[in-house]
Amino acid sequence: MVALPIYLDNHATTRVDPRVVEAMLPYFTEIYGNPASVSHRFGWDAEAAVESARAQVAALIRADPKEMIFTSGATESNNLALKGAAASLRRRGNHLISAATEHRAVLDPLRHLAREGWEVTLVDPDPYGLVSVEAIAAAMTDRTVLVSVMAANNEVGTINPIREIGQLCRERGVLFHTDATQAVAKLPLDVEADHIDLLSLTAHKFHGPKGIGALYVRRRDPRVRLQPLIEGGGHERGLRSGTLAVPLIVGFGRAAEIALGEHTTEVARLRHLRDRLYAGLVERVPRIRLNGHPTCRLPNNLNLSFELVDGEALMMAMRDIAVSSGSACTSANPEPSHVLRAMGLDEDLARASLRFGIGRFNTEEEIDYAIERIAGAVESLRAWSADWSSDPTQPGPRATP
């Protein structure tokens, strides 16, 4: 029997893996020193744990551990990357490039910089939500100093060509930042091969604890310099002052170690469950649309528009299944998804969309229950729709699996 409710919102956050909790626990009660305390064993042990975790996190993206700066999460990492780089690069130029489909944790800092006089260009994606190298190249000027494009979209799962974009930026002498929050642990990332200068990530998207993230900052070829946002002690190479949250950092490291060790089998399982959910819904529910790239997408992402059904009403009709209508950070916003609108969806289809995020602890039984529950809820809501009742036999758009 399936235990309810079922959690299918793993893009918003994930359940902490019990192995991660086990690794963290001693650092609350036994190894509780401050890693900045260099005069006694308590501090030394805490520092050793931090540096071990730093190496584990760095291995996820094939970086040097010395290039990893711990933060409170990806939002802080994005702010430090964008505002910190802008403050250091102002003498070289005043133009920043990003995409209209970025997370608010990138778009809002860019709006802040625009108010300070920076010129910001947001390129539009293609209908699949993909940001092309050609669009970035066309937007560049001789005053461009930084490009920020997410590795994979948090709503529709589309994977961007960050290696090609990074190469373009390297050839033009422009810094490249990527928000890899959703991509880390799902896609292979290599900061050298991908020509990445700054990369944001956070633990709670891959079964680590909330409240801890990191920013990769390239040390050479080129050396990236940032102005810190938080000062007061010179921690983290002077880029992020404040006492380090050792238990969270240890959990971050353990989550990274598990993700790296189990990557191949976990990605295959997530893709299988995602495809099972999609196939079941396509079979049961007419007139649904797949949003995002049909193949070049995260293995655990499914974003669907249910024609003539309001997404919020659908979520209310199936309270025993946790999904979302977009980014968790904008769930209180009544406006339709800015990502879907940038991809060209009209307001009705954007409002009819739901995002499903599959995670490590989901099962086939949960997926099968979700298919039946969603299909029933859609059928019930459409029965009350005058537009649907007037012509329920229309075939409507059908997505390509």
Residues involved in catalysis:
329
**CB of 147 closer than 8 Å to CB of 89:** no
CB-CB contact of 132 with 158 (8 Å):
no
Beta bridge partners of 70: 214
- Dihedral Cα 88, 137, 157, 207, nearest 10 deg: -30
Asked, as a colleague might, if the bond just before 5 is cis with ω within 30 of 0, I would say yes
Starting at the earlier edge strand, list the strands of the sheet with 213-217. 68-71, 213-217, 198-202, 175-179, 144-148, 95-99, 119-123
Residue with tokens 């002052």: 241
